[in-house]
Chains A and B, each alone.
Chain A
Amino acid sequence: MSEKHRFPVLAMIIVLISLPALSRSAHALPNAMSHRNISMRVSPTYIVAEVCDGDFIGPIKVSNTGSLPLDLQGFISEGGHDKNGIPIFSDPSGNTLKCGVFLTLEPTEFRLMPGESRWIKVRAHVSDTFSGGAYPIIVFQGQPAKEMHSRELLTSAQVGVLTLITVTSRRKQDSIYASPNIEYVALSQDPVDKSLIVSAICENQGNIHTTLSGTAVIRSYLGQPASSAKLTPAVCLPGHKRVITARFKPFTLNKGIYIAEVLVNSEGNTHPSIPVAFQVAENGMISAIHMDLAHP
């Protein structure tokens, strides 16, 4: 290479090397990163059991799958869920029998080196008078074994285990039942393929969890069935609400008035919803929805 070209080539190389660094955000700090991870595996993470006082459920296997020694702690939260089934945590319940059932872990605190696993026993304590469902959430919290005082932003890792516990009473007068009440039915339509989605909000007014399932039916105004679709099954805890949906495959609805109805099955019983009337325009799209047929 001639002397004349050497400098421009060198300059070009320097610019190319510097480009990635120059393109970085001026405020993204190179030292603002974490190099180590907390990794853990928990199994099972969903336990369904019928228990008597003193019974063990599980056990639960907790594993350290990362490269850091971990200090782990297990605790119990009161369980519950939102309308989409996402668990809601409340404060740790402690060893109280206010819900009729509490769980204890053996052990509650332990250390796992990288690659190690430990089986955790879970014992159920049940009050004499309780019958029905209890839904504690078991939470395993992991933190690096060493104290990290030099860090500004620390993280704790938690993995939850959902439990659906049933306690059957020996007394005949204590009945265990689920009672789904359909509060609301909603209709929506995909603007592209015009498929219908029927959703129902159900509240379980019983004292035990239930799996909501069933069908959504669309009829013509004269009562002839036009189509039906299965509701996606969903677990609903007592005292909680849950949305269940049915998606109809795209089909052509002619212009006219139709009625949508939801039939929810639970514990062998079928619970119908209040019918919802809706009007379909010439283009196959819903143009109006009337929620209350009793008051047109």
Chain B
Amino acid sequence: MKPLSGDFKRASRRLGFVLIMSVILLGQGVSRASGNTSMMPVTCKVMPTLEASFPESLDFGDVAPTRDPDGSYVISDTQVVKIWSNTEWALTMRSDSADGRMTKWTGDGYSSETLTFPLEWQLNGEGEFMRIEGDDISVVQGQSPTDKYGTALRLLFRQLITYNDVPLLDPATFYRIEVTFTAIQVY
């Protein structure tokens, strides 16, 4: 190995000295700067939040029975319930009629006249139609938190009309039922 020259050694010493001084001066500068600053903690807390959109009403219109029971069903178009939630959630549904049958509405209140069969519902076009009840029934439960697009639940309602159902001739009266949807987060 070639021995190092005296100039090179001197230059190395100078460079080392300059580096050490730079570190010391920078360190002092940093400590002086931090002495003049203060930390501002910025915090927030995201609250559990639920947003829901429900169909406002549904009108089956003028309906008529037929001899064929399958042909006597009046089926709604798809009704969409949409939920946005940042924790697990569930949706229940109930009617104001204990047995789920539409009842004659006189404008002031219900009378005793009811349709023969209850209103039925189906979720997302899957499974059997189920009758609606006066107690809360689970539409979905244990649903994961949604993204910003939410989760859409597609409901169909159907009503069987038979020749046993009494026609209502007074234009001010009709068969009516009230459906209550409840969206809630889970424990």
Q: Which residues of A contact B (CB under 8 A)?
A: 25-34, 36-46, 65-66, 68, 81, 84-87, 89, 137, 139, 141, 144, 148-160, 162, 234-237, 242
Contacts and interface: CB of A to CB of B under 8 A. Distances in A.
A159 B21 CA distance: 67
Contact of B51 (A28, A65, A84, A242): A65
B186 A155 contact: no
Given A34-B79, A157-B54, A151 B176 contact: yes
A149 B77 contact: no
B59 A84 contact: no
Contacts of B50: 41-43, 45, 159
B161 to A, nearest CB: 10
B184 A152 contact: no
B22 interface: no
B48 A27 contact: no
B59 A32 contact: yes
Contact of B59 (A153, A157, A242): A153
B184 A45 contact: yes
B53 A37 contact: yes
Contacts of A31: 59-61
B153 interface: no
Contacts, number: 183
Interface stretch (B9-17, B27-35, B67-75): B67-75
A27 B74 contact: yes
Interface of B: 47-61, 63, 71, 73-77, 79, 84-85, 87-88, 90, 102, 105, 107, 119, 136, 138, 141-142, 157, 174-187
Contacts of B71: 26-27
B107 A27 contact: no
A156 B181 contact: yes
29 contacts: A28-B77, A29-B74, A29-B75, A33-B79, A34-B79, A36-B57, A37-B55, A37-B56, A41-B51, A44-B48, A45-B49, A65-B53, A84-B186, A87-B184, A141-B180, A152-B58, A152-B174, A152-B177, A153-B58, A153-B157, A153-B176, A154-B179, A155-B179, A155-B181, A156-B179, A157-B180, A157-B183, A158-B181, A158-B182
A255 to B, nearest CB: 35
Contact of B58 (A66, A87, A155, A156): A155
Closest 8 CB pairs of A and B: A160-B184, A34-B55, A43-B49, A41-B51, A33-B77, A151-B57, A44-B47, A158-B182
A153 B119 contact: yes
Contacts of B142: 84-86
A148 B58 CA distance: 11
Given A33-B77, A149-B107, A151-B58, A39 B90 contact: no
A37, A81, A139 interface centre (most CB from chain B within 10 Å): A37
